[in-house]
Chain A
Amino acid sequence: MRYAMAIDTKKCVGCADCVVACQIENDVPHGYCRDWITEKTVGTYPKLEMEIRSERCNHCENAPCVRCCPTGASYIAEGGVVLVEAAKCIGCGACIESCPYDARYSHPEGHVDKCTFCIHRVREGKQPACVAVCPTKCMYFGDLDDPSSEISKQLRTRKFKVLSPEAGTKPHVYYLI
């Protein structure tokens, strides 16, 4: 089992529903977020192109944050999901420094926090909160090892990319382009 997410940049409108749904589902304190939106426009008026992305932890296969965590609080759980065990985390911030995606933040309660792919929901057979709420249905979550999963189909039929491939992290969040 390899959990992954694919996000269709052609459909995403940047509404940030995924951000607020995550904040409420995971009780992320006000002023912090586990996912966020980037909008990039290139060119000069009127020859422009835009890409909108909903970003979060990439749940990298080769996760620098896990490698550098001195206490083992950051670890890779089932399906390749990268998690932080708050009780073990001493809040040293090494993982925050090492993440090329800036996906982690220091929670005011003293530990580091980030996207969990809503593994607590996934274990109940539900979709992550962001995926379940997205009005444009532009996010796909599932098992890459299952060729019949929607995400496998999307990655077979669509062009896609990952963020900062040069970092060698092997991300599990894909962007359909």
Chain B
Amino acid sequence: MQSRRDFIRISALGIGGITLGSRTIPGLFGKSLFDNPVVSEMKRYPTYCEVCFWKCAAWSHVDAEGRIQKIIGHDDDPHCNGRLCPRGTGGLGMYEDPDRLMTPLIRVEEDGKQTFRKASWDEALDLVAKRLQELSATYGPESIALFNHGSAGHHFSHLLKAMGSVNASAPSYAQCRGPREVGFKLTFGQVMGSPEPLDIRDTKCLVLIGSHLGENMHNGQVQEMADMIDKGGDIITVDPRYSIAAGKSKYWLPIKPATDIALLLAWINVLIEEKLYDVDFVQKNTIGFDQLAHHVRQMTPEWAYGITTIKPDLIRKTARLMAAASPAAIIHPGRHVTWYGDDTQRSRAIAILNALLGNWGRRGGFYFPEKVKVPDFPHPPYPKPKWGWREILDGKYPFAALSIANTFLDATIDEESPYAIHGWIVAGTNLPYTIPDVGRFEEAAQKAKFIVVVDTMPMEITGYADVILPECTYLERYDELRTSPHREPYIALRMPAAEPLGETKPAWWMTKELGKRLGLEDYFQYADFTEVLEWQLEQLGSSLDEMKKLGIKKFPRKSGPLYQPDNEVPWFNTPSGKVELYSAQLKEAGFDPIPNYTAHPTPPEGFYRLNYGRAPMHTFSRTSNNPYLADLMDENFVWVHPKVASKWSLENGQEVWLKNQDGIVSDLPIKVRITERIRWDSVYMVHGFGHVTKKLTQAYGKGVSDTQMITNVMDDPIMGGTGMRGNFVTFIKEQIS
């Protein structure tokens, strides 16, 4: 079949070639180092970090020549307390990266071969507007979808809604934290959000189940974990891998993968059988305790031992430890929780366990977060779309609260459906390294009638684009105000520290220009985004000038105290107004009202479960080309247990290809790391490597993309999360050509 869309490995056109002056401080290595005057000459501009979703507030330091020298955390920001993580510190690399996209690019055919050519902004934007308008006229504006991650998504989702589509999707829901949000909403009536309202700094017992905090560098949380270690708090880590956090734990439970719910139920059993739960909290604030007690009666530590391989004694000891620490004990809700398709139920079990510890609204447990409501800049009401992502779901996943990114791929493939997607706007997310089942992505990308990609880097997704719009980095632009829930409400400003390099532009400018071409100028009634900020800040009682000086601003809490006052009965936003240990909502929809353990397939002979995770110096696939961060880690390894290595005669550093249960062989080889830190039935690798685009000159050809190996996707029937940990791989020592 003739491919509609050849994947173009972007040629040298319009990218690269920036040379920034060296940041060398003159005389650094000579004597004058010691009276180095340069530091004091630096100017600083506020920003908030865009290298991950934690959005730490920071200052960009700029020298007298206008070069950005370094980025330092904002002392008053509770997300970072003046200390960025390695990615934030190395965020400079996003700006300096010589591989950056520099001009708009348009797909053209030359001598029967598809390629990109440089285009002017007018030409590129005219083309995007024309194609979006055509699709909108033929299929309705609803047929245009946005995939997004990060700040650009905000601007493009405004454009999308103004056009009449609500089909915006962030893989961070169905591919990441969605099940947790639904599990907590069903139980406590509240989602966890970001940052999670966990009072880790004051907790006495932190339980991590499948969360490798420290390797996932959720800055403020890692800092608080270190604080609690300082104060002598205990950590319990449940992980088949000896994670960094496991290395800091009082108890490490090396669980057999895919059996976590059995452990959680056994813990619940111990708390109830030994009457260690918070009786007062449970009586006053929960419903369904009797059903829960009855449900878990047989789920003893002995029962769980046979499933999880964790000794009954250890299950009891750890349950008692958390109970003794309660209410200053937290079972961490996790973040990336799309594992086995029963993830909402596992999150429910975590929520229930927390409820039994009575830690809701308690110091050292869950605090009540608050955020500043930033008013929308005035615009006409959005048109009402005829259909949206719910129609695409067609009754599936009844508890999905947000769109399910992968179903947009299905809706693109199914061209005949009344709810077909035909056009894609992709902003800041590298889909083939994000959404599992790359085959499905490929098919959808071929079917899409138009794809526009907005990015700072020539990520793989740009190879599928019809038009590429080069975004400037966060260090070169204004963006919306950061407002996120925390102990105290804050806003943070992002402003440019330097002019955008090359022809790059901020997303707010792109959407405004597209709006103009689409006849939607009423939605963009400003010449410059600073007008929006100025207006919003005025409503909030501040000003752009003030924020340029402050960077972040704290507001007084309005929602009440941080913790539950003793003399008030809390109200929960659930149908019963109480914490729902038993969920009638789930029952009604045909799901288990109390979580159950179900056995999941185990690896066939000669195969190993593919576990994947994060490294502290990288954020997904987006940072692998960052020159500073690649210096720290430029490829991933496949971790194998020594027994497995000896069975396969593998050596440290040896390159192997991986093959999964569906016969998919990795595009690239990966080096072996032999370590006791991994169970013999699993392998592990860090997510986000294995780039096949040559234009990522640092990252090209290094390591394997775990996403490529994930073809068995176990949907969560409750909310549509894509369970990704049921994939098994084996080793190929010589590449099959």
Contact = CB atoms under 8 A, between A and B. Distances in A.
Interface of A: 10-11, 13-17, 19-21, 23-27, 30-31, 33, 41, 43-46, 48-50, 52, 85-87, 107, 109, 111, 113, 119-121, 123-124, 132-138
B617 A111 contact: no
Contacts of B86: 15-17, 19-21
B222 interface: yes
Interface residues of B, number: 59
Interface in B207-243: 214-215, 217, 219, 222-223, 225-227, 229-230, 242
Interface in B120-136: none
B70 A25 contact: yes
Contacts of B242: 41, 45-46, 48, 50
A137 B246 CA distance: 19
B28 A85 contact: no
Contacts of B82: 132
B371 interface: no
B85 A30 contact: no
Contact of A48 (B25, B73, B222, B676): B676
Interface string B74-95: 0000001011111001101000
Contacts of B89: 17, 20-21, 24, 133
A74 to B, nearest CB: 13
Nearest to A36: B632
Given A15-B616, A27-B23, A133-B89, A41 B675 contact: yes
A132 B34 CA distance: 19
Nearest to B631: A30
- Residue of B82, B89, B230, B247 with most partner-chain A CB within 10 A: B89
Contact of B85 (A17, A46, A137): A17
A48 B90 CA distance: 32
Contacts of A137: 83, 223, 226-227
A52 B85 contact: no
Contact of A24 (B30, B31, B90, B229): B90
22 contacts: A11-B229, A13-B226, A15-B222, A15-B617, A19-B632, A24-B92, A27-B25, A30-B628, A41-B242, A43-B676, A45-B676, A48-B676, A50-B244, A85-B31, A86-B30, A133-B83, A133-B89, A135-B80, A135-B85, A135-B226, A137-B223, A137-B226
Nearest to A85: B31
A85 B28 CA distance: 10
A93 B452 CA distance: 54
Contacts of B675: 41
Contacts of A26: 28
Contacts of A50: 242, 244, 246-247
Contacts of A10: 229, 248
B628 A20 contact: yes
Given A17-B85, A44-B676, A135-B83, A31 B631 contact: yes
Can you list the 6 inter-chain pairs with the closest CB atoms, starting with the nearest?
A50-B247, A86-B29, A136-B226, A13-B214, A15-B616, A17-B86
Contacts of A24: 23, 69-70, 89-90, 92, 628
B22 interface: yes
Contacts of A109: 29
A45 B643 CA distance: 11
B252 interface: yes
Nearest to A13: B214
B12 interface: no
A23 B675 CA distance: 29
A121 B33 CA distance: 10
Contact of A17 (B33, B84, B252, B627): B84
Nearest to A24: B70
B217 A135 contact: yes
Contact of B627 (A30, A41, A46, A138): A30
Nearest to B242: A48
Contacts of B229: 10-11
Interface of B: 22-25, 28-31, 33-34, 36, 39, 69-70, 72-73, 80, 82-86, 89-90, 92, 214-215, 217, 219, 222-223, 225-227, 229-230, 242, 244-248, 252, 254, 616-617, 627-629, 631-633, 641, 675-680
Given A87-B29, A87-B31, 13 more contacts: A16-B86, A24-B23, A27-B24, A46-B242, A50-B242, A86-B29, A113-B29, A120-B34, A120-B39, A133-B84, A136-B222, A136-B223, A137-B83
Given A27-B28, A86-B29, A49 B22 contact: no
A45 B246 CA distance: 12
A137 B224 CA distance: 10
Nearest to A124: B39
A120 to B, nearest CB: 5
B314 to A, nearest CB: 11
A50 to B, nearest CB: 3
B247 A20 contact: no
Given A85-B31, A123-B34, A16 B616 contact: yes
A14 B212 CA distance: 13
A14 B217 CA distance: 11
Contact of B641 (A13, A30, A45, A133): A45
Contacts of A133: 72-73, 83-84, 89
Nearest to B38: A120
Contacts of A15: 85-86, 214, 217, 222, 616-617
Contacts of A43: 676
A15 B51 CA distance: 15
Given A10-B229, A30-B627, A135-B83, A49 B222 contact: no
A41 B223 CA distance: 23
A41 B678 CA distance: 12
A43 to B, nearest CB: 7
B705 to A, nearest CB: 22
Contacts of B69: 24
A41 B242 CA distance: 9
Contact of B632 (A20, A87, A123, A135): A20
A24 B617 CA distance: 15
A134 B676 contact: no
Contacts of A17: 83-86, 89, 616
B677 A41 contact: yes
A11 B248 CA distance: 8
A46 B254 contact: yes
Contacts of A16: 86, 616-617, 632-633
Contact of A135 (B22, B215, B219): B219
Nearest to A45: B676
Contact of A20 (B22, B72, B215, B629): B629
Nearest to B248: A10
Contacts of A107: 29
B231 to A, nearest CB: 11
A26 B219 CA distance: 24
B702 to A, nearest CB: 15
Contacts of B244: 13-14, 50, 52
B559 to A, nearest CB: 29
B388 to A, nearest CB: 40
A94 to B, nearest CB: 19
Contacts of A124: 39
A23 B628 contact: yes
Nearest to B252: A46
A43 B245 CA distance: 17
Contacts of B641: 45
Contacts of A120: 33-34, 36, 39
A33 B679 CA distance: 33
A149 B599 CA distance: 56
B29 A45 contact: no
Contacts of A30: 627-628, 631
A135 B24 contact: no
A75 B87 CA distance: 34
A159 to B, nearest CB: 15
A65 B709 CA distance: 49
- Residue of B23, B31, B245, B631 with most partner-chain A CB within 10 A: B631
A25 to B, nearest CB: 7
